[in-house]
Amino acid sequence: MKTLKIAVLPGDGIGPEIVKQALQVTQVVCEKFDHRLEYQEGIVGACAIDATGSPYPDETHKLCMQSDAVLFGAIGDPKFDNDPKAKVRPEQGLLKMRKDLGLYANIRPVSTFPQLLHKSPLRADLVDGADFMCIRELTGGLYFGRPQGRSEDGNTAYDTCVYTREEVERILHLAYNFAGKRRKKVTVVDKANVLASSRLWRQIAQEIATKYPDVETEYMFVDNAAMRIIQWPKSFDVLVTENLFGDILTDEASVITGSLGMLPSASIGLHTSVFEPIHGSYPQAAGKNIANPLATILSAALMFEYAFHMPEEAACIRKAVTASMEAGIVTEDIADGAKAYSTDEVGSWIVEYIGQERK
C-alpha cells in the first residue's frame, strides 16, 4: 500500500466547491487501487489575505513542501479587482507559489471531446481529433524580470524580460521528453526576429534539438503560432514557449475545445507539483452549486499521472469523466438545453461510477 500525501488548496470563489469533488474522486480512486491518502487543507489567495495579510502564507508553503502534490482550486476576488490601490492582491499568491515551489513548467493538455465539438468556435472538422500539449515556462520572463515599475510622474511604465540559459534548457528538455512519449514533434514558439530573449531561446533550442534526433523540431514566431492554433490545431503535438507568450496561447488554445470548464493543468518543477483547472475563481457562481467540476477532476487525473506515476488510476478518472458526459450528467455550462446537474451531483455520479467499475 502506497501513501499519497497531498496538500489541498481550495482558494477563492468556486474553488472550494470544485476541489471538494476532485478530492472525493481522489479518495475513491485510492480506495479502489489500495492506496492510502493523506491530505491537509491550506489557504491561498483572497481568503488568505483576509486571514493573514498574505496571499500565500508561510504555513501554506510549508504544507506544500511537505506534500507529494498540491490539488489547487482558484484564486481571485472582485473586491481586489475594483481596488487599484490595493497593495496586496490574490494573484500575487499564485506567482509567489510558483516561484517558491520552483514551478518552472505549466503543462496544459488540449484535447477535444466529441460531446462538445458543436460548442467550439471552430468548425468540427478543424478541431475533431485535436490533441496537443502546451508547455509554458512559468518562472521567468516579463512576469518576474527586473527592473519593473513606473516613473515618478506615473506616465511611463516598464517591464524587463529576462531569461537565463538554465531556465530555457530545462523547459526545452521537458518538452522533448514529453514529445518522445507522444507523436515526436516539438514546436518552439518565440519572436526571435525582434526580441533578444527569443533569440537566446532559439539558439538554445537549436542546440538541444540535436540531442533528440528522433523528435521533429519546428520553429514558429508567436504571431504565426496564434494563427496556426486556429487554422490547423491538429498540426501540433508539443508546443513550448516562454511565460507571456504561453499565457496568451494556452488561453487561446483552450477555447477551441468548447468549454473552459473541461481543461486541467499541471505546474511541475523543482519541488511539489501543483494541479489545477485553468478557469478562474468565477465569483458570480460561488456558493450556487452550479460550477463545472470536471476540469478539477481531470486535474486530479494529471496528479495521479505526473506526480505519482500511476497511469492506470489517471485513466480510470478520465474514463469516468467521459462516461458522465455521454450520460448527460453535466452542469449547466455544457448541458446545452438538456437537464443540468449540480456540482455535487456531477461529482457524486463520477465517484459512484469509479466505485462500481472493475480495475
**What pLDDT score was predicted for residue 80?**
87
Q: Which of 104-108, 129-133, 149-153, 193-197 has the lowest mean pLDDT?
A: 149-153
Show which residues are catalytic: 143, 191, 223, 247, 251
Mean pLDDT of the chain: 94
Dihedral sign from CA coordinates of 301, 306, 307, 313: positive
Instruction: Inform me whether the pLDDT recorded for 352 exceeds 70.
Output: yes
Task: Output the CA angle 57-60-62, nearest 5 degrees.
Answer: 110
**What pLDDT score was predicted for residue 359?**
59
| Distance set, CA 318 to CA 76, 101, 226 (Å) | 28, 27, 28
Instruction: Inform me whether the pLDDT recorded for 260 exceeds 80.
Output: no
Whole-model pTM? 0.90
Instruction: Inform me whether the pLDDT recorded for 101 exceeds 80.
Output: yes
**What pLDDT score was predicted for residue 73?**
97
Strand 69-74 relative to strand 273-277, pairing? parallel
Instruction: Inform me whether the pLDDT recorded for 265 exceeds 80.
Output: yes
Instruction: Inform me whether the pLDDT recorded for 239 exceeds 90.
Output: yes
Query: How many angstroms separate the CA atoms of 55 and 44, rounded?
Result: 5
Contact 129, 257 (CB under 8 A): no
Contact 113, 324 (CB under 8 A): no
**What pLDDT score was predicted for residue 118?**
87
Q: What domains does the chain contain, in order, with CATH numbers?
A: 1-108+265-359 (3.40.718.10), 131-255 (3.40.718.10)
Query: How many angstroms separate the CA atoms of 69 and 347, rounded?
Result: 21
Mean pLDDT, to the nearest integer, of 183-204?
98
Reported as a single tens digit per residue, the pLDDT across 273-310 is 999 998 889 999 999 999 999 999 999 999 999 999 99
Reported as a single tens digit per residue, the pLDDT across 114-171 is 888 888 899 999 999 999 999 999 999 998 888 989 999 989 999 999 999 999 999 9
Which has the higher per-residue pLDDT, 255 or 237? 237
Cell of 345: 451531483
What is the percentage of the chain residues whose pLDDT exceeds 70?
Answer: 99
